[in-house]
Amino acid sequence: MIASDFGTGQVLWSMLWFFLFFIWIWLLITVFADIFRSHDLGGFAKAIWVIFIIVIPYFGVFVYLIARGHKMHEHAVEAAQAQDAAARAYIQSAAGTSGSTADELARIADLKERGIIDDAEFQKLKAKAIG
């Protein structure tokens, strides 16, 4: 009986409300994360923003996005750049590659001096390092 009363339109309407609720929760988490990672806000200002958002949630988030939306973008860019730099540093350390061509040429010359590679391999690796 209940299944026949609950039509397709009601299912879509329920899905829409669930989706909007999910977006609201995500937006709240994003705003709170930005408040607490902001280095330009003092502790008192962070407390005021948190209380404002808890007391008047919709209006508080709306005002925060208008007042500090540009800072949210700056914080996101800084976090992405820091994560990219950390990933690049990890990949270079895991791969054992050096950052400069001069270091790579010195490593290849050392391998040649120790007799690990011959002259043809040295020339090939040198061309690869330079090019």
pTM equals: 0.58
- Give me the residue spans of the domains in the chain: 2-97, 100-131
Model confidence pLDDT, tens digit, residues 21-34 = 999 999 999 999 99
pLDDT at 89: 84
Model confidence pLDDT, tens digit, residues 85-127 = 899 888 877 776 556 778 888 888 888 888 888 888 889 888 8
Token reading at 67 = 């007042």
Longest Cα separation, the chain: 87
Token reading at 16 = 């829409």
DSSP per-residue string spanning 56-83: SHHHHHHHHHHHHHHHHHHHHHHHHHHH
